[in-house]
């Protein structure tokens, strides 16, 4: 990707190149604005793609895949850290913002006039055309997706092939390692090159640390390059923060900008976990789309279920036993289907800057864990409906293995202590949440930081709450809509 | 941060029992741990290194045997590892879980393991990627 001329000023500086930053950069470039995009992570090289889970985590994820939220338990929080952000390493799931989620997010703060659903849908239509969004075809469901389809149909639960931003997917099952064939229409192969073609400049390995302010106006950013050298970029018209719901509040906090009681507060997640089922016939998790099928029967009850094509190393960590017992369990891997549940949790945590990293604090509420327990119970039920011969719930204090549907009742007694669960999240929200005024949040209905000029936050941190669905599409649509107004 | 040869040798004995693999495979996994420690942020590396140390040196505290884990009899080591994996104390369970999670990445990268499971290559080749 061309980096263009190396100057130190632009009309707009966009911080972050993922689902928030890339659409902003493109919209600004299309409006004829001079744009510099600053990305903390590296460019994604050919040799970085499809290199296995370990290398992917080490090369392309924040903190080399070791970022965690600390609370009553430790919850890994996975985020991309590369040009294109998390869109490079996610499962390519594109979920249109449902009306009920829109009401909960934007209706609840009185923002329906400022951010009409129809305006978001118009952007979503465009994004779907741009990113070749379509349901995963039958041939890409793989054994994992086909079994979930069979199980959900048998139970009469609402399910469907996942709508994905992939063009001519090869089914290599490596979405989360940066698509090896570049078929996934993530930001580094779509919106960013388009923005560059219109004159935008992308600078990888540039970590923004603070926003420079003058008389309450954002006039530039300062930071450090990957080699440790400092840099400053001046912004003639403004700065758009789109560094994620973890990095954006840290930059504001380090800069002393925004209402302190809200910047980095209200940190929300979709904590999730997975349940593995073993089948008589081979499933071959590594074939087909990484995430191809989902069941949203219970979305309004607070959880959503989807297949997860985990590689053997990640599937193995949840298996019980050691030595010969581990070998017997892992020998089932080719016949294993892995399905995850993600919960629209009510808990709120905090994000704050620490030395060289972000400090994440988060503990699910009891009600969230009750939802999680219902979710894994449903997953186990669906595995048996699909024909599983045994199911591994993976919860400490619960049964190691379920041998038949008669064992499902044991799931109702699973402990609610999050320390008994292997939770994980890759969806983060609301740390600079939108609100009518600074008594309730950080940004206004245009994404502008209250009490400032020329400074906007256009990523998941601006969302008023968690959505209960995969957020990339909503983040992109919101960023596009608000940037069109800024430009 | 590094995992020295002696520490690698000791933890490999434990990992061989955990994964039911020959000691040669377990030594390669320990070598992977050393490489991993050098690539992750200091805080994460420190946590993992402390975990490796604790798993190696706490048999006396957990099962009352004054030997490092690699010097335990196989049956004592099995009992010792079970203390970690089934501990009522979250920190002990989580420390072992972390070690297992990272070690599994080295385990799954091992050619012998991948061949046995028939899960294909760890990484795509450039030729395949360009199709």
In tens, the pLDDT along A259-294 reads 999 999 999 999 999 999 999 999 999 999 999 999
Find chain A residues with C-beta within 8 A of B81's C-beta: 322
Are B120 and A327 an interchain contact pair (Cβ–Cβ within 8 Å)? Answer: no
How far is residue A97's CA from residue A161's CA, in Å, rounded to a whole number? 17
Q: Is B118's Cβ below 8 Å from some Cβ in A? A: yes
Find chain A residues with C-beta within 8 A of B129's C-beta: 46, 49-50, 180-181
Whether the predicted pLDDT of B130 surpasses 90: no
pLDDT of residue A282: 96
In angstroms, the first-to-last Cα distance of chain B is 40
pLDDT of residue A356: 81
Query: Which segments of A256-335 does DSSP mark as H helices, in order?
Result: 312-316, 324-330
CA distances B57 to A368, A406, B14, Å, are 38, 43, 11
For A38, the token pair is: 């600053």
Are B129 and A49 an interchain contact pair (Cβ–Cβ within 8 Å)? Answer: yes
Whether the predicted pLDDT of B125 surpasses 80: no
How would you list the strands of the sheet with A272-278, edge to edge? A159-161, A293-295, A303-307, A336-343, A272-278, A390-392
Are B93 and A311 an interchain contact pair (Cβ–Cβ within 8 Å)? Answer: no
SS3 of residue A283 by DSSP:
coil
Whether the predicted pLDDT of A6 surpasses 60: no
SS3 of residue A299 by DSSP:
helix
Whether the predicted pLDDT of B128 surpasses 60: no
Q: Is A405's Cβ below 8 Å from some Cβ in B? A: no
- Per-chain mean pLDDT for chain A: 96
How far is residue A374's CA from residue A149's CA, in Å, rounded to a whole number? 19
Q: Where are the domains of chain B?
A: 5-119
For A60, the token pair is: 């392309």
For chain A, list the domains and their CATH numbers: 9-132+173-267+428-486 (3.50.50.60), 138-166+272-344+365-420 (3.30.410)
Q: Work out the burial of residue A113: count CB atoms within 10 Å of its CB; fewer than 13 is exposed, 13-18 middle, 19 or more buried.
A: exposed
For A53, the token pair is: 């889970």
Residue carrying the six token digits 């965690």: A68
User: Can you tell me the mean pLDDT for A11-33?
Assistant: 98
In angstroms, the first-to-last Cα distance of chain A is 24
Q: Is A227's Cβ below 8 Å from some Cβ in B? A: no
Find chain A residues with C-beta within 8 A of B20's C-beta: 322-327
Nearest to B41 among A51, A286, A357 (CB): A357
User: Can you tell me the mean pLDDT for A37-52?
Assistant: 97
For A481, the token pair is: 């809509």
A5 versus A21: which is more confidently predicted?
A21
| Alpha-carbon torsion, ordered A361, A377, A78, A64, to 10 deg | 100
Cβ atoms of residues A481 and A25 within 8 Å:
no
Radius of gyration of chain A (CA): 22
For residue range A201-235, list pLDDT tens digits in order: 999 999 999 999 999 999 999 999 999 999 999 99
- Say which residues have a Cβ less than 8 Å from residue B116's Cβ, sequence separation at least 6: none
By percentage, how much of chain B surpasses pLDDT 90? Answer: 88
- Which residues sit opposite A306 in a β-bridge? A294, A340
SS3 of residue A416 by DSSP:
coil
By percentage, how much of chain A surpasses pLDDT 70? Answer: 99
Query: Which segments of A140-243 does DSSP mark as H helices, in order?
Result: 142-155, 191-197
Radius of gyration of chain B (CA): 16
Count CB-CB contacts under 10 A for residue A486.
20
Q: Is A359's Cβ below 8 Å from some Cβ in B? A: no
Q: Which residue of B has its CA nearest to A325?
A: B20
pLDDT of residue A50: 95
Cβ atoms of residues A183 and A131 within 8 Å:
no
Nearest to A396 among B93, B108, B117 (CB): B93
Are A63 and B44 an interchain contact pair (Cβ–Cβ within 8 Å)? Answer: yes
Are B39 and A170 an interchain contact pair (Cβ–Cβ within 8 Å)? Answer: no
pLDDT of residue B127: 60
Whether the predicted pLDDT of A5 surpasses 60: no
- Say which residues have a Cβ less than 8 Å from residue A182's Cβ, sequence separation at least 6: A49, A189
Q: Which residue of A has its CA nearest to B105?
A: A313
Question: How many CA atoms does the CB half-sphere of B90 hold within 13 Å?
Answer: 11
User: What residues of A are labeled active site?
Assistant: 427
SS3 of residue A322 by DSSP:
coil
**pLDDT tier for residue A320 given thresholds of 50, 70 and 90:** confident
Cβ atoms of residues A336 and A379 within 8 Å:
no
For residue range A369-409, list pLDDT tens digits in order: 999 999 999 999 999 999 999 999 999 999 999 999 999 99
Q: Which residue of B has its CA nearest to A395?
A: B86
């Amino acid at each position: 990707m061309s980096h263009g001329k190396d100057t130190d000023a632009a009309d707009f500086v966009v911080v972050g190149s993922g689902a928030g930053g890339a659409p902003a950069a493109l919209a600004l470039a299309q409006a004829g604005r001079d744009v510099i995009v600053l990305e903390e992570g590296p460019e994604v090289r050919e040799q970085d793609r499809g290199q296995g889970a370990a290398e992917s985590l080490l090369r392309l994820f924040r903190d080399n895949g070791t970022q965690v939220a600390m609370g009553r338990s430790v919850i890994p929080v996975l985020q991309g850290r590369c040009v294109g952000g998390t869109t490079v390493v996610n499962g390519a799931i594109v979920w249109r913002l449902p009306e009920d989620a829109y009401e909960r997010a934007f209706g609840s703060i009185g923002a329906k006039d400022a951010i009409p659903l129809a305006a978001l849908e118009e952007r979503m239509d465009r994004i779907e055309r741009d990113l070749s969004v379509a349901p995963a075809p039958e041939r890409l469901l793989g054994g994992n997706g086909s079994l979930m389809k069979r199980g959900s149909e048998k139970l009469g639960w609402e399910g469907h092939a996942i709508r994905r931003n992939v063009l001519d997917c090869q089914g290599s099952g490596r979405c989360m390692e940066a698509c090896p064939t570049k078929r996934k229409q993530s930001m580094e192969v779509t919106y960013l090159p388009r923005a560059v073609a219109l004159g935008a400049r992308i600078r990888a390995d540039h970590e923004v640390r603070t926003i420079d302010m003058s008389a309450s106006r954002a006039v530039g950013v300062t930071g450090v390059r990957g080699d440790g050298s400092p840099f400053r970029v001046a912004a003639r018209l403004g700065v758009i923060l789109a560094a994620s719901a973890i990095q954006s509040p840290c930059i504001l906090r380090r800069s002393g900008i925004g209402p302190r009681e809200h910047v980095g507060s209200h940190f929300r997640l979709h904590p999730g976990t997975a349940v593995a089922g073993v089948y008589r016939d081979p499933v071959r998790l590594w074939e087909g789309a990484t995430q191809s099928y989902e069941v949203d029967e219970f979305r309004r009850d607070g959880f959503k279920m989807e297949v997860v094509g985990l590689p053997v190393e990640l599937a193995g960590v949840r298996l019980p036993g050691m030595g010969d017992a581990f070998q017997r369990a892992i020998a089932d891997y080719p016949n294993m289907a892995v399905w995850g549940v993600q919960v629209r949790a009510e808990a709120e945590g905090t994000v704050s800057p620490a030395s060289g990293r972000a400090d994440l604090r988060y503990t699910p509420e009891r009600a969230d864990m009750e939802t999680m327990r219902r979710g894994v119970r449903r997953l186990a039920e669906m595995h048996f409906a699909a024909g599983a011969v045994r199911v591994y719930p993976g919860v400490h204090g619960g049964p190691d293995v379920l041998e038949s549907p008669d064992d499902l009742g044991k799931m109702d007694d699973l402990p609610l202590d999050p320390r008994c669960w292997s939770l994980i999240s890759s969806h983060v929200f609301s740390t600079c949440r939108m609100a009518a005024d600074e008594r309730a949040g950080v940004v206004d209905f245009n994404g502008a930081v209250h009490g400032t000029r020329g400074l906007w936050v256009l990523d998941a941190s601006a969302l008023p709450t968690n959505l209960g669905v995969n957020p990339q599409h909503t983040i992109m649509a919101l960023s596009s809509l608000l940037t069109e107004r800024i430009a | 941060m590094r995992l020295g040869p002696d520490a690698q040798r000791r933890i490999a004995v434990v990992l061989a029992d955990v994964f039911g693999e020959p000691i040669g495979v377990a030594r390669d996994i320990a070598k992977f741990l050393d490489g991993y420690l050098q690539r992750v942020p200091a805080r994460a590396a420190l946590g993992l290194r402390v975990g490796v140390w604790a798993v190696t040196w706490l048999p006396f505290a957990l099962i009352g045997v004054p030997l490092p884990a690699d010097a335990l009899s196989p049956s004592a080591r099995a009992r010792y590892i079970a203390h970690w994996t089934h501990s009522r104390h979250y920190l002990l369970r989580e420390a072992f879980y972390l070690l297992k999670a990272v070690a599994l990445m080295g385990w799954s990268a091992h050619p012998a393991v991948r061949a046995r499971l028939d899960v294909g290559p760890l990484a795509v080749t450039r030729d395949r990627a360009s199709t």
